[in-house]
Amino acid sequence: MFTILEKILLITFLSSAISFFLYHLYLRLSIVFKGKGSFDFDNLISRLKRLFDEVILHKKVISKQRTIVGFLHLFVMYGFIFFGLITLNHFLIPFDIKLFSPSFKLNYFYFVGLPWAILCLIGILGLAYRRFFIKPKFLGEKSKTSAVVSLFIFLLMITYLYDELHLWNTLLQYKINWWLHSFVIGSFLFLIPKSKHMHLVLSPFNIFLKPFDNPNHAPVPIDLEASEEELDNLLLDLSRLSKNQALDIFTCVECGRCTEVCPANRGGGILNPKYHFILDLKKPMLENQDVNVVDKINVEAGWECTTCQACTEVCPVGNQVEKADEIRSFQVLSTGDVPQEYQKLLMNLQETGNTEGKNSSEILKELPEYTAEKEIVLWLGCFAKHAMDPNFIKSVRNFTKILESASISYGVLSNEQCSGDPANKLGDKLTFQLLMDQNVEALKGVKKVVSMCPHCVVNLQKEYQKYHEINYEVKHHTQMIAELLEDNRINITPGSLEKVTYHDPCNLSRTLNETEAPRKLLQASAPNFFELEEHGKDTLCCGAGGALWWKKDTGEGRTHLLRAEQVIQSKTDTVVTGCNFCYGMMNQGIGPLTPSNQEKIQVKDIADIVAENLSN
Amino acid sequence: MILVVLENQRGKIHPFSVESVVAGQKIAKSLNQPLSILCVGDNIDPIHESAKQFDCSELILASHPLLKTYSADGFSKIIVDLIKSYSPKYCIFGHSYMVRDYVPRVSANLSIPFISDITSINLSSQNIQFSKQVFNAKLSSRIENESTNGCLLSFQSAAFSADELIKGAPEKVTNFEVQLSDSDIRSTTEEEFQESSSGVDLSTAELIVSVGRGIDNQDNIPIAEELAKVLGAELASSRPVVDMGWLPPFRQIGSSGQTVSPKLYFALGISGAIQHVVGMKGSKNIIAINKDEEAPIFEIADYAVIGDLLEIAPLLTEELRKR
Amino acid sequence: MKIAVLTKAIPSYESLIRIDTSSKWIDDSIVNYVINESDAYALEEALKIRESLADNSEVVVVSMGPEDKCSKIIKDGLAKGADRAILIDSQEKISDPLSIATLISDCIKDEQFDLVFSGLQSDDLGSGQVGVLLGEKLKMSTATLAIETQIEPSAIRVKRELESGWFQWLTLPLPASISIQSGINNPRYPSLKGIMGARNKEVAKLNSNQFSNNKLQSMVELYIPSNEKQTKKIEGDSKSVVSRILEVLKNDLRIIQ
């Protein structure tokens, strides 16, 4: 059927397409492997499960807000997968190699090929319609590659059906159809590596290799006694991405969901994670053939980030998007370029060990001091110690009330320094280290720590481990109270509060992976509580993260008001939260934003609502 | 004798100088010393005219073409020469930007102390005690002059009120021969200019409605504008409102803006941070509206309204319109 | 070009200010000493000028006061990029600006600085005079409230801030002593390299012992200012508040009929 010429043409075409594809894949992978650190293969079972969930079950692609789109994409992806065998068979035809029996092929057609061709067509037409007619903002500008790909997939399905349904009459028609199909597939191989369609190849690997910690920024250990050469190496390193980050950039499918959920972007800022944290870095990486591209991240955008990890949470191809840590560290440590309002904050931390520049703390004096006989250290954090929202002191007292009713002995450390979270998030790793080293010393011999501030927990638990050997266990207070409830050391009777909702703090729900403990407690004390639309791991950051609490009065934009607005719109009477910063932001936002015909919403911490409903 | 130096601000006597005359009159009376008032500059006729109403022993006129544009070299030399001539016990100024610029030169040249930015004086003590604010106005200090060769003083705006000025006429007028040559002045000064295009001089306004951050939103600014309009008042603001771009810079009142002392200062949603307060504490009457009862503005307000300006101000405007 | 920057250690804005038992100073034990705000702007301006000249110009940080308080801000200045420092150790609390200026000028006159930058005023005693006094002592030309500078080969052009939104440019021949207004630039934060390099930079220590106590003005005492104002509260719902205000405007202030 096929002439020698045709076979030679086919082989030439295919081998050049495959070589092209492999070459560009190799180029990119070699850049990835220049990245810092190494890929992790720990927890293989969890990794495989995650791979299954996100790729096979498409759990992230088919999210609540994007169910239809998610399914359309599912059809296309499965179409591709199932067409693997069909494509193989297709290219063996000119060489008269028959791998499958006619009956197998027939069955495959009826049960797999035909249904999936139709579904795939529906999928690709639906997606093309959305991209070119509905034009969602976050997909970005008109994409020529997408147009071509849509056309390609469409043609592939059509040519397949044309062939299988025997719509051809002459050999010529058959061959034209066959060559068209082959041309499209070969062209695909030319198209994929330099476009976002690389995600086809890379995303399963990227998802598999994605670190479990979120965020997962590399520590920056600074030795003040280091030589000039060592210091230069450290600074050079700051400009380099990790292997995971480099792979992320080549895997990015440009869907724009990261930007869509970003609180800074939604608040009117310039930060656009899709470009600033990912795509802006692609070309420089390819030009340098290296990963030293941190200085290409837009600095202003970097300072706007609340580090809430919503971008990473929503990414369907396994990217850890946020790179504020990297650009900020670069700015602070290499250049000394820090916005003025943050300079004061960092100086306060250096001078007084707390963010507010204070020399003493009222609540610290009130609470019992920790001694070795006490069960746990109650880690207060700067927010509580210096009454950054004076109302929160009540919540601290409510928490101690809960501890006392469960007969838990606790104490505070008089030499507690700031956990260092603001310095860490701002990129001032030196000040962070100063505070961390002091705290690790103060915590020597301590076994258990509990804190009401998720930022403190994240640092004491996860960040400190990157630099020191940690021998204590840290819990968030909601986790501790939930345990007490489960162990029957406290009892809660449901209260009479109507219309209660819960705001998930981003550090708690995403970084610490904790959405259940607060809900158990809410269920027990206010069983009628309802969920906000963006809840759990999809929560919308209150706007105080990334040290932005200290910029909210001087900055522009509405990042710090978005969540308060949502809470008001939910028409709840009470909003409960599990983080002192969220608590403070709710109080700050709710006052000015509540319309005059609405009652002001009450803000409570989990400790408040539990303490109010404690029973014996 | 006691000498008061009048500053020429674009053809008028600087308001701070007028207030310093009051200080001079009080000190002269207390020490039983004659009071001399100095008009210094290039074209000092307008100043001279106004100064003729001040009750004092002597009006000294010192003019020279080289004083047409300000220079620290020029002005400090004149005052040094004058002090050498007259040996006043106290040489008094208003604490203006110009005084801050050249009077320390006089102090160092003659090795006499310059007690600056005085807020009040105690005439009953053995040696006059001068008070000034220190540590961001959290404290005040009492200072005494220890020199026998004279002392320079400058008074903060509104330390004394121009209302207390004793009117009268100078007993005599003296012309002081100014020795000044080009080589004395090392600097080259260019013309004064304004950056924002506005002729609104809030410092002469009788009534001011001023907004702070409590206005919350750019969209609410008209609330203040309407109230100002119906009262016939000028509109002003604290720094954050200008920083956000809600009002132009010339409306800013405070240490980096204008200093005002109107009959009525209506403070809407202003917290009362010191940088703002120094610009308006000379106001005769202050009505402050703020949601926060702990706001520092209430410490200097005559009338404290603890409430929501977004509700109260429009209602007030409406009522005023009806009259 | 040699540029000196006068930097003073003063209590931080958040520090608790309490008068000590002598009534002549504050209780230092509860206070954090930091660099005076406008001095930080002065230092940044000096560093920017050195960078713009791109020759072997020097920026020297000069600080006078108790050694333990000054050494911190000197280290910070060196970390930000100053080339060397002069620390004048003085344990005594000097409040007379002329004495301070005389002392500093005695210590630095041999250096023959082309420029001396200082902050507009210090946030402790705030006389705002030392820069100008020192300039006169060293026979330099002077200017205050600079919000922009332009360096020329043997002169400096300065934009002075005047009252009520007016400004003025003037050109001063070098040597000159200029006091710098906050907000003139964006002070840098010390980079890591800067912090580590600061350790190797020269800090000349001078003692104020030869200083004779020649105070021409003395601070007799510190006191807490009393609030003499009688504030009248106006409370209630919006309607009654508004009527009360109208009453005040009409009867008390006579602003409306």
* pLDDT-above-70 percentage for chain C: 97
Cα(C135)–Cα(C120) distance, integer angstroms: 14
| Chain A residue with minimum CA distance to B245 | A556
Smallest Cα–Cα separation from A374: which of A446, A427, A473?
A446
**8 A C-beta contact, residue A539 and residue A505:** yes
Smallest Cα–Cα separation from B131: which of B147, B143, B139?
B143
**Distance to chain A for B107, nearest Cα, Å:** 36
- With residue A332 as reference, give the H or E element that holds it: none
Of A116-130, A569-583, C226-240, the range with the lowest mean pLDDT is C226-240
Note the pLDDT of residue A466: 96
Q: What one-letter code names the amino acid at A144?
A: K
Please name the residues in contact with A601: beta carbons below 8 A apart, sequence gap of 6 or more.
A567, A568, A572, A573, A574, A575, A586, A590, A594
Smallest Cα–Cα separation from A437: which of A215, A216, A223, A237?
A223
Q: Which residues of A touch B293 (CB under 8 A)?
A: none
Please name the residues in contact with A133: beta carbons below 8 A apart, sequence gap of 6 or more.
none
Q: Which pair of tokens denotes residue A353?
A: 């060990």
Query: Nearest 5 degrees, angle CA A96-CA A99-CA A100?
Result: 115
Quick check: B198 pLDDT over 70?
Answer: no
Of A290-294, B196-200, C191-195, the range with the lowest mean pLDDT is B196-200
**8 A C-beta contact, residue B284 and residue B261:** yes
Of B216, B243, B311, which is closest to A592 when you measure between CB atoms?
Answer: B216
- Render pLDDT for A2-29 as a digit per residue (tens, 0 to 9): 889 999 999 999 999 999 999 999 999 9
Note the pLDDT of residue A84: 86
**8 A C-beta contact, residue A302 and residue A346:** no
* Greater pLDDT, C50 or C16: C50
- DSSP assignment letter at A579: -
Quick check: B196 pLDDT over 80?
Answer: no
A164-178, A268-282, C195-209 — most confident range:
A268-282
Residue where the block lists tokens 């306004």: B205
Q: How far apart are the first and last CA of chain B?
A: 54
The answer to whether B195 contacts C97, with C-beta atoms less than 8 Å apart, is no
- What mean pLDDT comes out for the span A387-404? 94
Phi/psi at A280 (nearest 5 deg)?
A: -60, -20
Note the pLDDT of residue C213: 60
Cα(A172)–Cα(A178) distance, integer angstroms: 10
Quick check: A128 pLDDT over 90?
Answer: yes
**Distance to chain C for B122, nearest Cα, Å:** 13
- What mean pLDDT comes out for the span A508-522? 96
Note the pLDDT of residue A554: 58
Strand partners, A411: A377
Cα(C170)–Cα(A152) distance, integer angstroms: 71
What's the distance, CA B41 to chain centroid? 19
Q: Which CATH number fits domain B202-321: 3.40.50.1220, 3.40.190.10, 3.90.320.10, 2.60.120.10?
A: 3.40.50.1220
Per DSSP bridges, beta strands A473-476 and A448-451 are parallel
For chain B, the domains span 2-184, 202-321
Note the pLDDT of residue A219: 94
Quick check: C227 pLDDT over 80?
Answer: no
Could you name the CATH architecture of B2-184? 3-Layer(aba) Sandwich (3.40)
DSSP string, C45-84: HHHHHHHHH-SS-EEEEEEEE-HHHHHHHHHHHHHHT-SE
Cα(A320)–Cα(A217) distance, integer angstroms: 10
Cα(B309)–Cα(B290) distance, integer angstroms: 7
- With residue B306 as reference, give the H or E element that holds it: strand B303-306
Neighbours of C56 (CB within 10 A): 8
**8 A C-beta contact, residue B290 and residue B297:** yes
Of B9, B109, B146, which is closest to C215 when you measure between CB atoms?
Answer: B146
**Distance to chain B for C231, nearest Cα, Å:** 5
**8 A C-beta contact, residue A299 and residue A337:** yes
* Greater pLDDT, C237 or B228: B228
Round the average pLDDT of chain B to a whole number and report it.
Answer: 90
* Greater pLDDT, C165 or A525: A525
Cα(B221)–Cα(B217) distance, integer angstroms: 7
ipTM for this model: 0.89
Neighbours of B285 (CB within 10 A): 18
**8 A C-beta contact, residue B13 and residue B6:** yes
Q: How confident is the model at residue A477 (pLDDT cuts 50, 70, 90)?
A: very high
- Render pLDDT for A90-127 as a digit per residue (tens, 0 to 9): 998 888 888 888 888 888 888 888 999 999 999 999 99
Q: What one-letter code names the amino acid at C227?
A: N
Q: How confident is the model at residue B240 (pLDDT cuts 50, 70, 90)?
A: confident
Note the pLDDT of residue B199: 58
CB contact, 8 Å: B113 with chain C?
yes
The answer to whether A351 contacts C34, with C-beta atoms less than 8 Å apart, is yes
Q: Which pair of tokens denotes residue B203?
A: 């410092």
Cα(A551)–Cα(A568) distance, integer angstroms: 23
Of A260-274, A446-460, C154-168, the range with the lowest mean pLDDT is C154-168
Query: Nearest 5 degrees, angle CA C29-CA C123-CA B248?
Result: 140
Quick check: A144 pLDDT over 80?
Answer: yes
Smallest Cα–Cα separation from A304: which of A551, A36, A5?
A551
Note the pLDDT of residue A596: 65
Q: How confident is the model at residue A354 (pLDDT cuts 50, 70, 90)?
A: very high
The answer to whether C190 contacts A235, with C-beta atoms less than 8 Å apart, is no
Cα(B227)–Cα(B268) distance, integer angstroms: 11
A59-63, A430-434, A493-497, C27-31 — most confident range:
A430-434
Residue pairs spanning B and C at CB distance below 8 A = 235
Please determine whether the domains at B2-184 and B202-321 fall in the same fold group of CATH: yes
Q: What one-letter code names the amino acid at C48?
A: K
- What mean pLDDT comes out for the span A50-71? 92
Note the pLDDT of residue B136: 80
Q: Which pair of tokens denotes residue C48?
A: 């920017």
Please name the residues in contact with B306: beta carbons below 8 A apart, sequence gap of 6 or more.
B290, B291, B292, B293, B298, C233, C234, C235
Q: Which domains does chain C have, with CATH numbers?
A: 2-210 (3.40.50.620)
Of B142, B190, B264, which is closest to C170 when you measure between CB atoms?
Answer: B190
**8 A C-beta contact, residue A153 and residue A188:** no
Q: Which pair of tokens denotes residue B198?
A: 């506005």
Strand, coil or helix: C123? coil
Smallest Cα–Cα separation from C69: which of C82, C44, C88, C94?
C88
Note the pLDDT of residue A496: 84
Strand partners, A473: A448
Q: Which residues of B touch A591 (CB under 8 A)?
A: 291
Smallest Cα–Cα separation from A348: which of A359, A337, A362?
A359
Q: How confident is the model at residue B43 (pLDDT cuts 50, 70, 90)?
A: confident
Interface test with C, best of A230, A333, A350 (most C CBs within 10 A): A333
Q: How confident is the model at residue C35 (pLDDT cuts 50, 70, 90)?
A: very high
Please name the residues in contact with B236: beta carbons below 8 A apart, sequence gap of 6 or more.
B202, B205, B208, B209, B210, B211, B251, B252, B253, B258, B260
Note the pLDDT of residue B211: 95
Of A43-52, B38-47, B146-155, C45-54, the range with the lowest mean pLDDT is B38-47
- Render pLDDT for B122-145 as a digit per residue (tens, 0 to 9): 998 889 999 998 988 788 999 999
Quick check: A555 pLDDT over 60?
Answer: no
* Greater pLDDT, B105 or C209: B105
Quick check: A147 pLDDT over 70?
Answer: yes
CB contact, 8 Å: A596 with chain B?
yes
Round the average pLDDT of chain A to a whole number and report it.
Answer: 92
Cα(A486)–Cα(A481) distance, integer angstroms: 9
Quick check: B224 pLDDT over 60?
Answer: yes
**8 A C-beta contact, residue A117 and residue A125:** no
Cα(B74)–Cα(C57) distance, integer angstroms: 31
Cα(B261)–Cα(B259) distance, integer angstroms: 7
| Chain A residue with minimum CA distance to C72 | A351
Strand, coil or helix: A120? helix
Cα(A38)–Cα(C93) distance, integer angstroms: 58
Chain C contact residues (CB < 8 Å to A): 12-16, 30-32, 34, 80, 186-196
- What mean pLDDT comes out for the span B180-184? 93
3-state helix, strand, coil in chain A (%, to 5): 60, 5, 35
What's the distance, CA C240 to chain centroid? 48
Strand, coil or helix: C31? coil
- With residue B58 as reference, give the H or E element that holds it: strand B56-63
- What mean pLDDT comes out for the span B144-172? 90
Cα(B243)–Cα(B275) distance, integer angstroms: 14
Note the pLDDT of residue A275: 96
Quick check: C100 pLDDT over 80?
Answer: yes
Per DSSP bridges, beta strands B8-9 and C58-65 are unpaired
- DSSP assignment letter at B253: B
Cα(C82)–Cα(A277) distance, integer angstroms: 35
Residue where the block lists tokens 């070098």: C174
**Angstrom distances, CA of residue C243 to CA of B158, B288, C235:** 31, 15, 11
- Render pLDDT for B67-88 as a digit per residue (tens, 0 to 9): 999 999 999 999 999 999 999 9
Cα(B285)–Cα(A409) distance, integer angstroms: 57
Q: What one-letter code names the amino acid at C131?
A: G
> Radius of gyration (Cα) for chain C, nearest Å?
22
Q: Which pair of tokens denotes residue C180?
A: 């710098």
Cα(C102)–Cα(C125) distance, integer angstroms: 17
